Amino acid sequence: MFDTSLTLRDLMFLAEGAGVTILVTAISVVIGTLLGILFGVIRTQLGPVLSAPLTFVLDIFRSVPLLIQLVLGNAFVGMVLQIQISGFTVACMVLSLYTSAYCAEIVRGGIEAVPETTRRAARSLGMTWGQDMRYIVMPLATRVALPSWIGLALGVMKDSALVYVVQVTELLKSTQILITRLQEPLFLLLICGAFYFIISFPLARFGGYLERRWSND
C-alpha cells in the first residue's frame, strides 16, 4: 500500500538542507534585528522628515519581492562591486536587509507605544536619554513588539526558501532535487513541511511563553 524509495541517506540530505535553512534564517534574523533596532531608534529619534531618506530605502526593501532582491543583489555584488563571495553570503546579506526593513517598523511601533509621560517620569528622576532607553523604553517596547517579531522571524524562515536563486541548497531546494530523482512529490513535500514545522514550532512556543510570563507583570 505505502511504498517509497526514500532512503536514510536522502533523509540526511534533507536534514542538511534544513540545517542551511536554519543557518541562513538565524544569521539574517540576528543581523536584521540588530540593524532593525538601530534603524527603528533612528527613525523615532529623527522624526519623519529627517529620517525620510532612511524610510525610503527601507520601503524599497519591504516592497520589492525578495526573489528580485536576491537576483539583483547577487548581480550587484558580482558585476558592480566585482567581488567573489559565495551565494550563501549574498543570501544572508540580502535577507538581513530585508529583515531589518520590517524589524525597523516593529521597533518603531514598540517604542512609540511607550507613553511619553512614562519617559518623562524616567527623565525627571535624572536618567539620561540612554538610561531611559535601556531601562524603560526598550523593555516595554520589547513586550509590545514581541508577537510581531516572532511573526517576522517565522516569515523570514519560510522566505529563506527563495535563496535557491543564488545557488544555495536549503531545505526546499533539497526537496526539489529529491523530487526530480524519486518522482514522489507529495510524500517529499509532506516531509519537507514537517521539517519546516519542527523548525518553527519551538520559536512560536517560546514567544507564547514570554508573552504569558510578561502578562503577569
Contact residues for other proteins (CB under 8 A)?
115, 117-118, 120-128, 131, 135-136, 139-140, 143, 214, 216-217
Q: Which residues of 79-97 are buried (b: 16+ CB within 10 A; e: fewer)?
A: eeeeeeeebbebbbbbbbb
Q: Are 89 and 31 in contact (CB under 8 A)?
A: no
CB of 126 to other proteins, least distance (A): 4
Q: Which is nearer to other proteins, 128 or 167 (CB)?
A: 128
CB of 209 to other proteins, least distance (A): 17
CB of 101 to other proteins, least distance (A): 28
Q: Which is nearer to other proteins, 136 or 166 (CB)?
A: 136
CB of 119 to other proteins, least distance (A): 9
CB of 123 to other proteins, least distance (A): 7
* CA 40 to chain CA mean position, Å: 15
State in Å, rounded, how far the first CA of the chain is from the last one.
55
Q: Which is nearer to other proteins, 53 or 126 (CB)?
A: 126
Q: Which is nearer to other proteins, 63 or 216 (CB)?
A: 216
Q: Are 53 and 72 in contact (CB under 8 A)?
A: no
As a whole number of angstroms, the distance between CA 203 and CA 209 comes to 10
Q: Which is nearer to other proteins, 58 or 138 (CB)?
A: 138
Q: Are 78 and 13 in contact (CB under 8 A)?
A: no
Q: Which three cell numbers stand for residue 115?
A: 507613553
